[in-house]
Structure 1
Amino acid sequence: MENLDKLILELCKLPQETGWVEFKHNNCDPKMVGEDISALANSAVIADRSHAYMIWGVDDKTHEPVGTKVRLKQEKKGNQELENWLRYMLSKNADFEIHSADIDGKHVEMLVISKAMGVPVTFEKIDYIRVGSYTKKIIEFPTLQAQLWDKLRHEQFEDIYALSDIQLEEIPHYLNCEVYFDILNMPHPTSIEKYAHYLMEEGIIAKQDNGLYAITNLGAILFAKKLSDFPRVGRKAIRIVQYEGNNRLSILKEENTTEGYAISFENAVKFVTTLLPTKEDIDSVRRKTINAFPIPAIREAIANSLIHQDFFLTGTGPLIEIFENRVEITNPGTPLVDIMRIVDNPPKSRNEKLASLMRRLSMCEELGRGWDRMVISCELQKLPAPRIQIYQESTKVSLFSHLNFTNIPMEDKIWATYLHACVKFIEGNALTNSSLRERFGVAESSSGSISRLIKEALNKQIIRPVDSTTAPRYMRYIPIWA
Structure 2
Amino acid sequence: MGKQRDTELINILLNDKENELLEFKSNNTNPKVIGKLCSVLSNSARILNKDYAYILWGISDDGCIIGTDFNPNNKSITKFKLSQALSPSIHCDFRLVTHQDDNIVILEIPATTITPIEFNGTAYVRIGSATPKLSGHLDKMQILMKNLQTYTWEHEVAKQFLTADEVLNYLAYKVYFKLISQASPQSIDEILQYLERDNIVEKDIGNKWNILNLGALLLANDLNDFGVSIARKGVRFIAYNGDNKAEVVSHRKDGLKGYAIALEGLVTYINNLLPNSETIGEVYRQTNAPFPKIAIREIIANALIHQDMTITGAGPQVELFNNRLEVTNPGESLNPIERIIDLPPKSRNEGLAGLMRRMRLCEEQGSGVDKVIFSVEEAQLPAPIFRTHGNSTQVILYAYRSFADLTIEERTRACYQHAVIKYISGMKLKNSSLCTRFGIKKGNESQVSKVIKNALSKGLIKIADTESPRSGYHPFWA
TM-score, scaled relative to structure 2? 0.88
The 1:120/1:314 distance shift into structure 2, 3 A limit, reads: closer
Residues 167-246 of structure 1: pairs in structure 2 closer than 5 A: 167-209=163-205, 212-230=208-226, 231-246=228-243
Superposed, 1:16-415 pairs within 5 Å as: 17-23=18-24, 34-56=35-57, 58=59, 66-68=64-66, 70-73=68-71, 90-91=86-87, 93-105=89-101, 108-123=104-119, 125-131=121-127, 135-209=131-205, 212-230=208-226, 231-248=228-245, 249-415=247-413
1:5 corresponds in structure 2 to 7
SS of residue paired to 1:130: coil
CA deviation profile, 1:192-219 (whole Å, cap 9, x unmatched): 3333222222222233456643322222
Equivalent residue letter for 1:480: F
Q: 1:251 to 1:58 in 2, by over 3 A?
A: closer
Q: What does residue 456 of structure 2 align with? A: 458
Tell me whether 1:442 sits opposite 2:443 in the alignment. Answer: no
- Separation (CA, whole Å) in 1 of partners of 2:128 and 2:368: 47
Are 2:27 and 2:69, in contact at CA under 8 Å, matched by a contact in 1? no
1:2 and 1:165 in contact (8 A); partners too: no
Cα 1:255–1:104, aligned 2, differ >3 Å: closer, same or farther? closer
Deviates more, 1:391-400 or 1:30-39: 30-39
The residue identity in structure 1 corresponding to 2:20 is G
Residues 271, 108 of structure 1: alpha-carbon distance in 2 compared, 3 angstrom cutoff: closer
Is the 8 Å Cα contact of residues 177 and 223 (structure 1) preserved in structure 2?
A: yes
The amino acid of 2:258's aligned partner reads: G
Which of these residues, 425, 428, 438, is aligned with residue 426 of structure 2? 428
> Relative to 1, partners in 2 of residues 1:462 and 1:116: Cα closer, same or farther, differing over 3 Å?
same
Partner Cα distance (2:256, 2:76) in 1: 47
Q: Alpha carbon RMSD of aligned pairs, Å?
A: 3.1
User: How far did 1:40 drift?
Assistant: 1.5
Change (3 A) 1:141 1:198: farther
Q: Which moved more, 1:284-293 or 1:377-386?
A: 284-293
Helix, strand or coil at the partner of 1:40: helix
Residue segments in structure 1 that go unaligned for 5+ positions in a row: none
Q: Could you say if the C-alpha distance between residues 92 and 396 of structure 1 is closer, same or farther in structure 2, counting changes exceeding 3 Å?
A: closer
Q: Which 10-residue stretch deviates more, 291-300 or 30-39?
A: 30-39
Distance 1:284 1:397, change over 3 A: farther
Rate the CA distance shift 1:44–1:82 in 2: closer, same or farther, 3 A: same
Task: State the Cα deviation string for residues 324-363 of structure 1 (Å, max 9, x = none).
Answer: 4332222233212111011111112222221121111111
Shift of 1:75: 12
What per-residue deviation string (whole Å, max 9, x for no partner) do you get for residues 102-139 of structure 1? 44455544332222242222345432323456544433
The answer to whether the 8 Å contact 2:38/2:109 transfers is: yes
**CA distance in 2: counterparts of 1:350 and 1:441, whole angstroms:** 39
- Give me the whole-angstrom Cα distance separating, in 2, the residues matched to 1:103 and 1:17: 19
- Secondary structure in 2 aligned to 1:399? strand
Task: Please give the alpha-carbon distance, in whole angstroms, between the structure 2 residues aligned to 1:42 and 1:419.
Answer: 46
Q: Provide the rounded CA distance (Å) in 1 between the counterparts of 2:82 and 2:324.
A: 55
Q: Which amino acid aligns with 2:145?
A: W
- Distance apart, 1:303 and its partner CA: 0.8
Checking the alignment, whether the CA contact within 8 Å between 1:6 and 1:211 is kept in structure 2 is: no
Distance 1:25 1:398, change over 3 A: closer
* Shift in CA distance, 284/392, structure 1 to aligned 2, threshold 3 Å: farther
Q: Quote the offset at 1:409 in angstroms.
A: 1.6
Contact 2:239–2:320 (Cα < 8 Å) also in 1? yes
How far off its partner does 1:373 sit? 0.6
The TM-score with structure 1 as length reference comes to: 0.87
Contact 1:239 1:320 in 2 (8 A): yes
Q: Compared with structure 1, are the counterparts of its residues 456 and 162 closer, same or farther at alpha carbon in structure 2 (3 Å cutoff)? A: same
Aligned length: 474
Q: 1:269 to 1:104 in 2, by over 3 A?
A: same
CA distance in 2, matches of 1:447, 1:383: 19
Q: Distance in 2 between matches of 1:379 and 1:294?
A: 10
Secondary structure of the structure 2 residue equivalent to 1:2: helix
Q: Percent identity?
A: 36
Looking at structure 2, the residues matched to 406 and 261 of structure 1 have their Cα atoms a distance apart, in angstroms, of: 40
Residues 1:197 and 1:171: Cα distance change in structure 2 (over 3 Å): same
- Residues 56 and 67, structure 1, Cα contact 8 Å, conserved in 2: no
* Cα distance in 2 for residues equivalent to 1:400 and 1:313: 28
- How many angstroms does 1:397 deviate by? 1.6
The alpha-carbon distance between structure 1 residues 113 and 71, as it changes in their structure 2 partners (threshold 3 A), is farther
Give distance in 2, aligned partners of 1:193 and 1:339: 45
